[in-house]
Structure 1
Amino acid sequence: MKTTDDILKLGDPRLYETCEPVDESELPLVAAWVQDLHEAMEDIRRKYGFGRGIAAPQLGIMKRLFYLNLDKPYVIINPELKNLNEDTFEMWDDCMSFPNLLVKVDRHRSMTLQYFDENWKKKTWEVRDDISELIQHEYDHLDGILCTMRAKDAKSFKYR
């Protein structure tokens, strides 16, 4: 069972690596990866009271995959962000890799997400506001970018 302790913490060099795409031949592995992501996220929810998404590299799975648990679970494989709206908003972002730190960042208000689901079906999802920012956060993890690297300025950090 994966827990908070299995999530890579700020400073771990793997968090700064660019992930490889999931190949269709790896689809049989995805269910186990998603189960691990789900378990770690549920433990964060219990311990810290937050968590709507987690990216595979946060568990050392260096693949372009993230998992969201919103109104239902979403498995996002090889995502692509399209039509990023120029309209942005400022927010305090949090991350499971540093659960007590909040970082002030700007995120795009809306965008289009294209991805494969757990059945290797191509999907398109138009998202806005809190879902848009969540997807941008998780997508950044796949490129080795943490919200600390997107901070608005040197004073854009605070403890939860």
Structure 2
Amino acid sequence: MKHLADLLLLGDPRLYETCAPVLEAELPLVSDWVADLHNVMEEIRAKYKFGRGIAAPQLGIMKRLIYLNVDRPMVILNPEFVSVSTETDDLWDDCMSFPNLLVRVRRHRQLTMNYRDEHWQPQSWNVTDWAMSELIQHEFDHLNGILCTMRAIDERSFQWRPTPVTNL
């Protein structure tokens, strides 16, 4: 079982690699990979109070696999964007691989994506929810070796995550 210490951090060269597709023959491995992704996401949530999705390469699993857990767990294998909206919006993006840094990026408001689920069934998803669209784009970028630091709007698009106030 992988843990927070196994999470690749900013600067690790593997984070900049393009991932290989998940093969149907590898389907028996997916449940273990997802368990690792889930476990690390839960540890991030406990320590840093954020985390809705994680991509396999963040744990050194160089496969096109995204694990989301917003309202329910969801496994996305070999995603492909069919279309993205021309309408965009800006946000302060965060990433588990550099949890104390926020990066101002521009993302598409909506997208349509084809992928396979954990049962190898083909799926199509028209994502109209802005929060879900930007999350999927962030995780999809990981599969292509792109970090949100590389999508910064300009040189002033970086800030430290505010530290929560605690009662002393």
TM-score tier, shorter chain, comes to: over 0.9
Match of residue 36 from structure 2 = 36
Q: Is the 8 A contact 1:52 1:69 kept in 2?
A: yes
- 2:115 is the counterpart of 1:142: no
Map 1:72-83 to 2 at 5 A: 72-83=72-83
The count of residues paired between Structure 1 and Structure 2 equals: 160
Structure 2 Cα separation of the partners of residues 11 and 120 of structure 1 = 33
| DSSP 3-state at the match of 1:80 | strand
Match of residue 131 from structure 1 = 132
Q: Unpaired runs of 5+ in structure 1? A: none
Displacement after TM superposition at 1:113 (Å): 1.4
Displacement after TM superposition at 1:2 (Å): 2.5
Match of residue 157 from structure 1 = 158
Structure 2 Cα separation of the partners of residues 66 and 140 of structure 1 = 10
| DSSP 3-state at the match of 2:8 | coil
Structure 2 Cα separation of the partners of residues 96 and 70 of structure 1 = 15
Offset from partner CA, 1:116-140 (integer Å, 9 cap, x none): 0000000111113000000000000
Structure 1 Cα separation of the partners of residues 148 and 5 of structure 2 = 20
Structure 2 Cα separation of the partners of residues 51 and 2 of structure 1 = 16
Map 1:1-160 to 2 at 5 A: 1-128=1-128, 129-160=130-161
Displacement after TM superposition at 1:82 (Å): 1.7
Q: Is the 8 A contact 1:3 1:44 kept in 2?
A: no
**Amino acid aligned to 2:76:** I
Structure 1 Cα separation of the partners of residues 78 and 72 of structure 2 = 19
Displacement after TM superposition at 1:70 (Å): 1.2
Displacement after TM superposition at 1:3 (Å): 2.3
Displacement after TM superposition at 1:83 (Å): 1.4
Structure 2 Cα separation of the partners of residues 81 and 133 of structure 1 = 13
Structure 2 Cα separation of the partners of residues 77 and 143 of structure 1 = 14
Report the RMSD for the aligned CA atoms in angstroms: 0.6
Structure showing greater radius of gyration is 2
| DSSP 3-state at the match of 2:146 | coil
| DSSP 3-state at the match of 1:83 | strand
Structure 1 Cα separation of the partners of residues 113 and 69 of structure 2 = 16
Q: Give the ranges of 4+ consecutive aligned residues of structure 1 lying more than 6 Å apart after TM superposition.
A: none
Q: Is the 8 A contact 1:103 1:156 kept in 2?
A: yes
Offset from partner CA, 1:11-68 (integer Å, 9 cap, x none): 0000000000000000000000000000000000000000000000000000000100
State the identity %: 66
